[in-house]
Amino acid sequence: MRMKFNNLVELHVKKTTKDKIILTDEIFCTRSYPNHPKGCPNFSKKPLCPPNTEKINLDKYNDYILFYIKFNFKEYYELRKKEHPNWTDKQVKCVLYWQGAVRKILKEALFEFCKEYIYYNKYDLFLCVSDIYGYPSMEAVGINVFSTMRLNGVKMEINPVNNIYLVSLICIKEREQAKLINIL
């Protein structure tokens, strides 16, 4: 039986302001983590990864929306452990078994949310969605995700046990032509 990931996620959409988005010069991709002492193996190899990406210029946009999924990792862990009692802790937590499904939910929800902007082409959008639809992650354009989320009232765990967040930022600017049409 396939796990129903929709039951384990909560989708959140939260308008924010430019002053609640924290920019940094630090490149998080180069930080070491288990089995990767030099950081992410994609660093400098993919076009959407630093140093191939530019730091975001938030001044170009008028509106900012945090679009994120809260994944109940604790419940997922317990369900997966029941399903596979002989698996090691490392196997149960492995991103290969959950990340794709959760990212798919985020991608579909993000598409539905942005449809009017995309279809009517009245707006310039910049998306930070971690390689979904060919856009860079927030970290890749210089945004400190943990600090930004904390400033917006969401406390994320550094080494998550309870919840994992997949976070996107939508930056929106209404085009001048659209403003003129609205006046007429």
What's the gap between Cα 137 and its chain centre?
Answer: 7
Query: Does residue 111 surpass a pLDDT of 60?
Result: yes
Q: What is the pTM of this model?
A: 0.85
Query: Does residue 117 surpass a pLDDT of 60?
Result: yes
Q: How many domains does the chain have?
A: 1
How high does pLDDT run on average in the chain?
86
Report the DSSP pairing between strands 123-128 and 63-72: unpaired
Tokens 């452990």: give the residue.
81
Q: State mean pLDDT over 62-81.
A: 95
**What does the block give as tokens for 4?**
């129903």
Domain containing 87 equals 5-183
Query: Does residue 136 surpass a pLDDT of 60?
Result: yes
Query: Does residue 130 surpass a pLDDT of 60?
Result: yes
Give the confidence band of 7 by pLDDT, cuts at 50, 70, 90: very high
